Each structure stands twice: as C-alpha cells, then as structure tokens.
Amino acid sequence: MEQIIRLKDCDPNFVYEVEEAGGENVHLCFQCGTCSAGCPTVYTMDYTPRQIMRMVTLGIKDKVLNSETIWVCASCYTCQTRCPRGVEITNVMGALKSIAIREGVRAANEKGPAFYNSFVEIALSYGRMFEPLLMLKFAQKSEGSLSGTLKHLLRHASLGMELTKKGKIALMPHKIKGREHMKKIIENIRKIEEEEK
Ligand code: SF4
Ligand code: SF4
C-alpha cells in the first residue's frame, strides 16, 4: 500500500533515542530484508522488521511506537543472528518497547505492555518464570474486569492443561537464589531512568 511520509511527521532524533535505549547500529541497515524473511512472527505484524528499521531511521516515531510489530516480536534473535550488517534488530525491538512504555503510548496491541509488565513482576518475585501466574496477571491486566479475566483464562484452559500434561508448565513456582541482587539491578535502572527524565 502506498503511503506518503511528511517531513513534519518525522523526528530526526528518534534514531538516536532508539540507539541510546539499547537498539544499537540501526543506521547500518541497508534494507536487504533478510530479517523479515526469517522472522517467525512476521505474519502477525503490521510492519515487517525491515520496514520498522527503515521507519526508525526516517524518524517515523508515532507509527513505530503504535505498531503491533514491536509487541508481537518474540525476541527470538533469528533476525539479529542473520543480519549481514550486524544490526541488533531484537535489541531495537526491545528499545522500542521500552520507549513506548516510558512514553505511555497506547499501543495498537494493548495486550503487549500488559504481557511485558506481568513478565517483569514475576521475574522480580521468583527470579524466573512461573507461567500459571503469568497467565493470571496478564488476563487481569489486559481484560480489566473479573468476568473478562475468567473468560480469558477459560479460553486458554485446554492449552494450559495440555502443556501441564507434557511437563512444559510447572504447577508450583521455583525461586532462584540471589533475587535481591536482581531487584537491586532493576532499582538502579529505574533510578537512572528517573534521573534522565
Ligand atoms: S537484515 Fe539487517 S540489513 Fe537487512 S533489512 Fe534487516 S536490519 Fe536491515
Ligand atoms: S527477534 Fe523479533 S523481529 Fe527478530 S526474527 Fe524474532 S520475532 Fe522476528
């Protein structure tokens, strides 16, 4: 689909913002499309990884931060390991998520931030993932009401049972040692973010 890009809608500093947030080397992209060709979730994206890289360098901030793509990226690193220019594409996607959350962007895929926030809360409590609680928190945050949460859980119950039967999901959480160090790291990151505001 043909789209007109207006200069007034572009932010020339966006690419630097992304690089500073951890998405290094995005300006090296020469648009070969290898990242999009190998991406396992590209069929659910509104913009392919290649398009996102281009939009970042052009400064089309609003569309990038509101895209589905940044939230459905599964952080699998396939693109990053294949990129002939060494662009850290997965890290760029991560940086875009952080900026979107920091700037309070209401994403097209509103469930994305709900999922990531739930993930971080559990990682902070246990030091590793506990999927049943992840699903519960995600359902609560993304649905907002008790009835919505229950419907959400019921919709996914059979998949959960299947995964539990195959031993892919633990019924009880496991906590790692040294969780206080993890909390300290996160606290320090948040402190630095506050100071930079
Ligand atoms: S694989 Fe690398 S160089 Fe090619 S389009 Fe993707 S980011 Fe750009
Ligand atoms: S890291 Fe994200 S963008 Fe890259 S291949 Fe995996 S899902 Fe696609």
Distance 180 CA to ligand 2 centre (A): 31
Residues with CB under 6 A from ligand 1: 29-35, 49-50, 53, 83-85, 87, 89
**What is the pTM assigned to this prediction?**
0.78
As a CATH number, domain 11-102 is 1.10.1060.10
The pick from 36, 39, 87 for probing ligand 2's pocket by mutation, whose C-beta has the most ligand atoms within 8 angstroms, reads 39
- What residue segments make up the domains of the chain, in order of their start? 11-102, 111-196
Nearest residue by C-alpha to atom 6 in ligand 1: 35
Give the Cα-Cα-Cα angle 71, 30, 96 (nearest 5 degrees). 20
Ligand nearest the Cα of residue 77 is: 2
pLDDT digits (tens, 9 = 90+) for 87-137: 999 999 999 998 998 888 866 567 778 888 898 889 888 888 899 999 999
Mean pLDDT of 15-24: 90
Length of the chain: 197
Using CA atoms, how far residue 131 sits from 70, 111, 120, 158, 172, in Å, is 22, 16, 12, 14, 10
Tokens of 64: 């990038």
